[in-house]
Amino acid sequence: MVARGRERLPIRGGLLDSRRFLLVNPGKPVRTPSCYPAAVTSLDRDNAAADVLVVGEALVDVVTTADGVTRDHPGGSGANVAVALGRLGRPVRYAASFADDARGRSLAAHLADSGVVMACDPHVLDHTSTAQATIAADGSATYVFDLEWKLGEIAVGTPRFVHIGSLAPVLSPGAETVVALLDGLPDSTRVLYDINMRPTLTGTGQEIVSRIERAAAYADVVKASDEDLETLYPGIGLDKAAARLLELGAGAVAVTRGGDGASWITETERIDVEAEKVTVVDTIGAGDTFSAGLVDALWDDFDRDRREVLAHGVRAAAVTVSRAGANPPTRAELEG
């Protein structure tokens, strides 16, 4: 794992927009002309502890079902994780960006309804990002994105967990803000990183691979689907792909395998659990709910039995796939 606050891993390719670079350190936000009013980020940084900070994209899923019906659903990888944790009763702060438009206001209401507190001013975009999601007969989803990723000043604090995911550490200009945040975290903060690749948006070239690997090096747990690993490291198989991430410094790799369940892989063991038997409506938000389930399971005991941790994540994801859109369970639904 990368020693935080010391050596910064380099970006390959030099495509970052340095004008939008913002260094973020716990308790010491750096204000630049592009930052936003202090009132927006006035959260008490000294008391922003024992919670989870989620960093990742928020957008609206414009979902077209197999029978041709189109509806808007609040979503985005980061938003889904934040909402899932909020519904489970965890204190959660969220750093993201969207516009002050109709879709952005629907996102804000969706987050607030689940008790999610914003950790930055989200209103930094001209229009709220969207993902055109088409649902196949088997419930699987394909996406076409209209998305921009940048961040304002983040009230980092000293959270118990930081969850980053998907586009957050790879898409410019926000990626460097995210890496600066990771680099400044105290060692006591646990980092979970969900790779959640979006090759139609980012491509799969070496620069993207390097950025994913850079983020993985900070993670106590890397979460990925078997499809993510195949896209990241084609043709080498799940176990060898996980081994590469472990070699970078990740503490463990949690892999979702669709209907085949999930796995926890370290340098010394692989633990598998089966999937829950449910009728799949669609898979939107399933991986995000699984990630939130991992955080929830590890909340009070990071050394908790890994089979129990996986089973908790699988059970949470099973509720989400049983209904339309990214609609994660409440604590009562999960444990009832």
pLDDT of residue 234 exceeding 90, the answer is yes
Domain residue extents for the chain: 48-331
CA nearest to 181, candidates 164, 198, 160: 164
pLDDT digits (tens, 9 = 90+) for 205-232: 999 999 999 999 999 999 999 999 999 9
CA nearest to 230, candidates 222, 241, 221: 241
Contacts of 174 (CB under 8 A, 6+ apart): 97, 149, 150, 151, 167, 168
- pLDDT score for 51: 94
Distance CA 69, CA 64 (A): 5
CA nearest to 154, candidates 110, 193, 184, 188: 184
Distance CA 16, CA 18 (A): 6
Percent of the chain with pLDDT over 70: 86
Indicate the SS3 state at residue 319. Answer: helix
Contacts of 133 (CB under 8 A, 6+ apart): 61, 62, 63, 64, 141, 142, 143, 284
| Mean pLDDT across 122-148 | 88
pLDDT band at 48 (very low <50, low <70, confident <90, very high): low
Are the CB atoms for 144 and 132 separated by under 8 Å?
A: yes
- pLDDT score for 49: 55
pLDDT band at 41 (very low <50, low <70, confident <90, very high): very low
Distance CA 53, CA 333 (A): 24
**Residue 332 DSSP symbol:** H
- pLDDT score for 71: 87
pLDDT band at 37 (very low <50, low <70, confident <90, very high): very low
pLDDT of residue 9 exceeding 60, the answer is no
The pTM of this model reads: 0.85
Beta bridge partners of 59: 75
- pLDDT score for 212: 98
Angle, helices 286-298 vs 77-87, to 10°: value is 50
CATH for the stretch 48-331: 3.40.1190.20
DSSP string, 185-250: --TTSEEEEE----HHHH--SHHHHHHHHHHHTT-SEEEEEHHHHHHHSTTS-HHHHHHHHHHHT-
pLDDT of residue 23 exceeding 60, the answer is no
pLDDT band at 300 (very low <50, low <70, confident <90, very high): very high
pLDDT digits (tens, 9 = 90+) for 242-257: 999 999 999 999 999 9
- pLDDT score for 65: 82
- To which residue do tokens 């702060």 refer? 93
The two beta strands, 59-64 and 130-135, are: parallel
pLDDT of residue 35 exceeding 90, the answer is no
> Please, what is the average pLDDT of the chain?
86
- pLDDT score for 31: 25
- pLDDT score for 141: 78
pLDDT digits (tens, 9 = 90+) for 156-186: 999 999 999 999 999 999 999 999 999 999 9
